[in-house]
Structure 1
Amino acid sequence: MRVITDSIGRPRRLLRPAAATALVLALGGCQFFGSEAAKPAPKPTVSTARFTMTPLDGSATVAPESVVTVGSGGGVLSAVTLAAADGTAVPGKLSPGGASWHSSGPLKYGTKYTVQATAVDGHGLTATGTSSFTTATPETLVSVAKVIPEKGATVGVGMPVSVEFDQKIEDPAVRAAVEKRLVVATSTPVEGAWSWIDAKTVRFRPKTFWPADTKVSVSGDLYALPMGKGVYGGSGTATDFTVGSAVVATVDSAAHQMTVTRNGEVLKTVPVTTGKPGFTTRAGTKVILGKEEHVLMDGTTVGISEGSSESYRLDVYWAARVTWSGEYLHAAPWSVGSQGRANVSHGCVGMSTDNARWFFGVVGVGDVVNVVNTGSSKSMERIGNGYGEWNVPWEEWLQGSASGAVTTGAPAAG
């Protein structure tokens, strides 16, 4: 009998015919059952996309500052709308890939909103979802009552921006939020800061005077700003103005002279008289508040008794005001003999009629008046009697700010 060996010389058994036949049948059976192809699952007829929406459907008294969100599970968002009952739409943004959407604009107070969303699942089937909610109505609104400078004004380099509210704002966190909503933009960047001068008024000034010929815009949308205890921001503000040339008048009380410069160039030096002892002119930096061709000056309005040796009642011309309490730079023809020689006024800066008329034509609101060498401790009030902010050191000014110093950016185009 012939022995068949394997590749390394070991004997290898031959299959008997019956065993071989069984193996063939077994193999054939495997091939038969394996030829049955799996049937594909039937295509769904209903989309598998599902929605999650915040606020929940039917919610009431929703905070107006809330962000509305829509998410889609099992699908991709293809469209989302958020609109008030009157049809006013609120803008929003889809996330990359369309997994979620969120609102990017404020909600109105006391308003019903409806969210409508559409999503597409992996089979191309579309699902829609709808949700409605109502926002809360504030108990109190805090709005901007007044902004200075007025829109379109041209002012001097010393003019601060003043925003007055119709309600008190005392919480430091709310003040910081308000300051961040009040945006100052300038054609020439400046470092500046808001600072609260009282509970209703916040002012912005640069670290140093405004650069000459600067365009300034101020915007502040307080809407939907929560202020605590049901109080919200109301109407905001928007204004723009121009800073003109840098006009600065320096009054030297000891020398009895006033030198006026524009953009650093001396325009004129004129003889003046300032406050006599007991009525010393305030020393320090002041800002022109307004101009009056004629003003009736009455000593009783500044505490001088009628009929006393110091009383007066005069028609005064070409007057530039620097304090609310009644300090002016004006024509004083009755004291021409003392101008340039002695200080004889009750606190104002007096000059001849011709020089006062010239000065009146040169200066404007916001221009700077520096009074030096008075020999007295009487100084310009830093807050409350005009714009005395420039007498406040910068670091101290920042202490009145809830958000700190900023560097202004450029105004928006158009």
Structure 2
Amino acid sequence: MIDRRTVVRAGVASSAALLAVACSDSGGTTNGGGQDGPAAPARPVAKITAEPAVDTKDVPVRQPITIKVAEGTLTDVKVTNSEGKAVEGAFDAGRTVWTSTEALGYDRTYTYAATANGTDNKQTQLNGTFITVKPAQQVRVTLNPADNAQVGVAMPISVKFTGDVKNKAAVEKALTLETSKPVEGSWGWLSDRQVDFRPKEYWPAGVTITVGARLYGVDLGGGAYPKADVTTKFTIGRNQVVKIHTPDHKMNVYRNGALYKSYPCSNGLDSDIDRNTPNGTFIIMTREPHAVFDNARYGYTNVNKKWACRFSNHGEFIHENQDNAAAIGRTNNSHGCVNLLEADAKDFFDSALIGDPVEVSGSRLGSPVNSDVMDWLVDWPTWKAKSTLQ
């Protein structure tokens, strides 16, 4: 005889097993933690990014380092160079961006470490390195006139390089010029190693000029980069212009457009065009109390003269030549220089500034074409065309 109670117990046991299966999810874990353990903790929501990015190479040295965080605030940023020196920088008002405030060095490895707190109150970090550009050549740059100089109204501004410049437009864009009075002018390339600025007309007397050649980090082309920035601030002196019409045998000096002094002179020999004083607008380039002249072509060496003002690198000076007193004011017989009596040469020398214009006319000899101080030897449209930005 079958025990009906035994059957009932078996059925209850089977129902409990089914219930246990029904309460399990398809992945095999159970509510409240099962045999697979607890779920992984959520990752911090803050995300730090850097520019330049980690492991970047050939980074431009003027490119600022920028470290940003999203969904959080930066608590600490440190960037160091190859020697371990910290790079200067600053946070924005919300401490979501840090930006470097100094130029970087060439061919350096920089290391950065940044920490941020996320909006979820969890901390995150970013660490990495990058390498700046390595120049194939570092070029020295010079700027003239020098700081605090006072120069004449025709003085050009010259930026010179010890290596060739191929990216001339990039250089011009990095040059800045401020004047205390409005002045129209233009940069012009005289060679692959020299760019000058000259005004359309002579500088106004008394104007102050500030020039910045912020060229460090500018790619000059061919892997060449400048060693450093250069700047200068100088002033223009009184307006003094020298005018020499060679057939007149006199040198007139004008101040502010009015005749100031007139000196008898002897200019280059009229009958020999190679000895003519060349036509053109030049500038006083040097002032030398004593100068030694040599010219093997014409058979003289070690000729000492006083109060010499060079006005052309073609070889012309205004200088004393008391030995030629009989010709001064009467005939032109020099080798191209402007000869003055000693007292007059001293008087003019004392009045002259580097950059004063010297305007020569009446000669048969044209302007030198190979001069590196030829800013005023061409007309304004020709000068403007020497700029790469016109």
Which residue of structure 2 lines up, in the alignment, with residue 194 of structure 1?
Answer: 187
Question: What residue identity is the alignment partner of 1:168?
Answer: D
Once the two structures are superposed, residues 183-230 of structure 1 have per-residue CA deviations (whole angstroms, 9 ceiling, x without a partner) of: 223322322222111111111212221221222232223222233454
Q: Which residue of 2 aligns with 1:354?
A: 343
> Which residue, out of 87, 90, 100, partners 1:89?
87
Which among 279, 285, 301 is matched to residue 281 of structure 2?
285
CA distance in 1, matches of 2:340, 2:132: 63
Tell me the distance in 1 between the aligned counterparts of 2:57 and 2:264: 72
Count of residues in Structure 1 that have an aligned counterpart in Structure 2:
346
Unaligned segments of structure 1, at least 5 residues: 1-43, 405-414
Write the letter of the residue equivalent to 2:248: A
- 2:182 is paired with a residue whose SS is coil
Structure 1 residue 360: Cα displacement: 1.2
Q: Give the distance between the partners of 1:68 and 1:270, measured in 2 at CA.
A: 63
Unaligned runs of 5+ in 2: 1-40
- From 358, 362, 380, the counterpart of 2:367: 380
Tell me what 1:206 maps to. Answer: 199
Question: Paired residue for 2:45, among 34, 44, 48?
Answer: 48
What code does the residue aligned with 2:85 have?
A: G
Q: Report the RMSD for the aligned CA atoms in angstroms.
A: 2.8
Q: Which amino acid aligns with 1:282?
A: P
- 2:253 equivalent among 249, 260, 272: 260
Corresponding residue of 2:358: 369
Q: Distance in 1 between matches of 2:339 and 2:238?
A: 24
Q: Which residue of 2 aligns with 1:402?
A: 388
Aligned partner of 1:321 in structure 2 is 310
Distance in 2 (CA, whole Å) between partners of 1:99 and 1:83 is 20
* Structure 1 counterpart of 2:154, from 141, 152, 158: 158
Summarize the Cα distance change of 1:125–1:189 in structure 2 as closer, same or farther, 3 Å threshold.
farther
TM-superposition CA deviations, 1:13-37 (whole Å, max 9, x none)? xxxxxxxxxxxxxxxxxxxxxxxxx
Q: Equivalent residue for 2:11?
A: none
Determine if the alignment matches structure 1 residue 240 to structure 2 residue 233.
Answer: yes
Residue of structure 2 aligned with 1:70, choices 57, 63, 67: 67
Contact 1:382–1:390 (CA<8 Å) still a contact in 2?
A: no
Q: What percent of counterpart residues are identical? A: 32
**Alpha-carbon distance in structure 2 between the residues aligned to 1:232 and 1:331:** 45
CA positional deviation for 1:265: 3.2
CA deviation after TM superposition for structure 1 residue 152, in Å: 2.9
* Aligned-residue offset at 1:177: 1.2
SS at match of 2:247: coil
Matched, 1:294 2:290: yes
Which letter maps to 1:50? K
Contact 2:245 2:251 in 1 (8 A): yes
In structure 2, the CA distance between the partners of 1:51 and 1:214, relative to structure 1 (3 Å rule), is same
CA distance in 1, matches of 2:234, 2:226: 24
| Contact 1:298-1:312 at 8 Å conserved across structures | yes
Where 1:183 maps in the other structure, the secondary structure is: strand
Query: For residues 104 and 296 of structure 1, do their structure 2 counterparts lie closer, same or farther at Cα, with a shift above 3 Å needed?
Result: closer
Distance 1:57 1:297 in 2: 63
Describe the SS at the equivalent of 2:238.
coil
Judging changes above 3 Å, is the alpha-carbon distance between structure 1 residues 92 and 207 closer, same or farther for their aligned structure 2 residues? farther
- 1:109 is aligned, of 100, 106, 116, to 106
d(CA) in 2 for partners of 1:339, 1:230: 56
State the AA in 2 paired with 1:88: A
C-alpha distance in 1 between matches for 2:137 and 2:295:
44
| TM-score normalised to structure 2 length | 0.78
Q: Could you tell me how far apart the structure 2 residues matched to 1:157 and 1:247 are?
A: 7
The corresponding residue for 1:22 is: none
SS at match of 1:193: strand
Q: Separation in 1 of the partners of 2:188 and 2:89? A: 33
CA distance in structure 2 between the partners assigned to 1:400 and 1:242 by the alignment: 25
Asked if 1:333 corresponds to 2:322, the answer is: yes
Q: Alignment partner of 1:108: what SS?
A: coil
For normalisation by structure 1, the TM-score amounts to 0.74
C-alpha contact 1:287 1:388 (8 A) present in aligned 2: no
AA matched with 1:353? E
Shift of 1:108: 1.6
Does the Cα contact within 8 Å between 2:171 and 2:220 map onto a contact in 1?
A: no
Give yes or no for the alignment of 1:342 onto 2:343.
no
Contact 2:313–2:373 (Cα < 8 Å) also in 1? no
Q: Contact 1:92–1:102 at 8 Å: present in 2 too?
A: yes
